[in-house]
Amino acid sequence: MFCGAKRVVGPLARAFSSAAAAEAPERKVAVLGAAGGIGQTLSLLMKMSPSVTKLSLYDIVNTPGVAADCSHVNTGAQVTGHVGQEQLGDALKGCDVVVIPAGVPRKPGMTRDDLFAINAGIVAGLVEGVAKNCPEALITMISNPVNSTVPIAAEVLKKHGVYNPKKLFGVTTLDVVRAKTFYAEKNGFDVNTVDVPVVGGHAGITILPLFSQATPSATMSDEVLDALTKRTQNGGTEVVEAKAGKGSATLSMAYAGALFADAALRGLNGVQDVVECTYVESSITEVPFFSSKVKLGPEGVSEIYGLGDLTDYESDALKAMMPELEASIEKGVNFVKNM
């Protein structure tokens, strides 16, 4: 089927093959919210990752079925299913990476912040489980609103005396995935050769793709640049509206979540130069959590890169996002303080 055509291997396949080093240590990954729209596909992708040896699937419903199904895939990872609060400890013990896509998704007309009322408590409870059962694990937070759920996780971990800012990540990979797709489409590039850093947070105007730093570079009019920026910022809403009340992005998010989890595992395993955009505790701007390019290593975060040169358009957008980002962070912090 591919005779004659030059076929470029995609990023997940590249991540999976380079993670497959024979000397890679055993790694246990848990997916919390594994029976959900994201959770099920993400669990499958994690089952396909050669760097995962144990895959623990946790949810408050339906995980026995999801785990049985996933366990029949003929790859190396051993799958276990855990259902309900009393099985959370077993799901988490010995984990190296905990991926959290638990919680409710948006419906049309909602903002991500509208999910705070339900998801804040869900995330706090799950991170408490991490603090008690696998405090050394890397946490990759998918549940929205990410701009607040990551600070919530940090505060819960602090309450338990186990917070390590190098090990807590908000997953903003889907913004990068979208920016790459839209940029490649617009400029006629092979999407597998494209890179676009996306900085800030993960909601509306806090999502800032830096197309001036995209590779390969392209000359775009101000109108095209603005349209691409807005499409990236509204990518989640585009899917929510298209799904018309049946949830938000699940397939592309599972792909993005697997890409990030695999990058985290490669970093843990000592693979060099693993760099992803992710929302972490950061001092590169005036807000305490910010997404930018981060090098991932054996301890989690090994280096947080600065923003580089920004155009006037990008500088203005950066300034404009700060009040919203700051308020979302404060809301998360206060939620745990008042718990």
Ligand X SMILES: NC(=O)c1ccc[n+]([C@@H]2O[C@H](COP(=O)([O-])OP(=O)(O)OC[C@H]3O[C@@H](n4cnc5c(N)ncnc54)[C@H](O)[C@@H]3O)[C@@H](O)[C@H]2O)c1
Residues making up the binding site for NAD(+):
33-39, 59, 119, 142-144, 253
Residue whose CB is less far from ligand X, 127 or 296? 127
Whole-number Å distance between alpha carbons of 58 and 91? 6
Site for ligand X in 174-213 (CB under 6 A): 174, 202
Residue whose CB is less far from ligand X, 60 or 227? 60
Choices 157-165, 189-197, 246-254, 325-333; region in contact with ligand X by CB under 6 A: 246-254
Q: At what angle do helices 235-243 and 222-233 cross, to 10 degrees?
A: 60
160 is catalytic: no
Site for ligand X in 250-279 (CB under 6 A): 250, 253
Residue whose CB is less far from ligand X, 130 or 174? 174
Q: What does the chain come to in residues?
A: 339
Nearest to 269 by CA among 22, 48, 100: 22
Q: Is the bond preceding 145 in cis, omega lying within 30 degrees of 0?
A: yes
> Which residue type is seen at 199?
V
Question: Judging by DSSP bridges, how do beta strands 54-59 and 78-83 pair with one another?
Answer: parallel
Under the criterion CB under 6 A, does residue 141 sit at the interface with ligand LMR? no
Choices 18-26, 129-137, 156-164, 237-245; region in contact with ligand LMR by CB under 6 A: 237-245
Residue whose CB is less far from ligand LMR, 129 or 236? 236
How many residues bind ligand LMR (CB under 6 A)? The answer is 13
Q: What secondary structure letter does DSSP report for 283?
A: -
Under the criterion CB under 6 A, does residue 144 sit at the interface with ligand LMR? yes
- Provide the b/e sequence for 150-164 (b: ≥16 CB within 10 Å): bbbbbbbbebeeebb
> Which residue type is seen at 9?
V
Residue whose CB is less far from ligand X, 147 or 269? 147
Rg (CA), the chain: 19
Out of 101, 236, 297, 300, the only residue in the binding site for ligand LMR (CB under 6 A) is 236
Question: Judging by DSSP bridges, how do beta strands 207-209 and 198-200 pair with one another?
Answer: antiparallel
Out of 184, 249, 265, 271, the only residue in the binding site for ligand X (CB under 6 A) is 249
Out of 174, 208, 258, 274, the only residue in the binding site for ligand LMR (CB under 6 A) is 174
Contact assessment for residue 170 and residue 154, using Cβ atoms and an 8 Å cutoff: no
Contact assessment for residue 274 and residue 260, using Cβ atoms and an 8 Å cutoff: no
> Which residue type is seen at 170?
G
Which option in ligand LMR, ligand X, none does residue 240 bind, with CB closer than 5 to 8 A by kind? Answer: ligand LMR
Residue whose CB is less far from ligand LMR, 158 or 230? 230
Count the alpha carbons within 13 Å of 162 in the hemisphere toward its beta carbon: 19
Count the alpha carbons within 13 Å of 92 in the hemisphere toward its beta carbon: 27
Residue at token pair 């240590």: 25
Tokens of 182: 């839209």
Under the criterion CB under 6 A, does residue 32 sit at the interface with ligand X? yes
Residue closest to ligand LMR, measured at CB: 236
Under the criterion CB under 6 A, does residue 138 sit at the interface with ligand X? no
Choices 73-81, 141-149, 203-211, 287-295; region in contact with ligand X by CB under 6 A: 141-149
Choices 47-55, 181-189, 236-244, 329-337; region in contact with ligand LMR by CB under 6 A: 236-244
Whole-number Å distance between alpha carbons of 72 and 117? 37
Q: Which residues are catalytic?
A: 202
Q: Which residues bind ligand X (CB under 6 A)?
A: 32-33, 35-39, 59-61, 101-106, 115, 119, 122, 125-126, 142-144, 146, 171, 174, 202, 247-250, 253
Q: Which residues bind ligand LMR (CB under 6 A)?
A: 105-106, 112, 144, 174, 235-237, 239-240, 248-249, 253
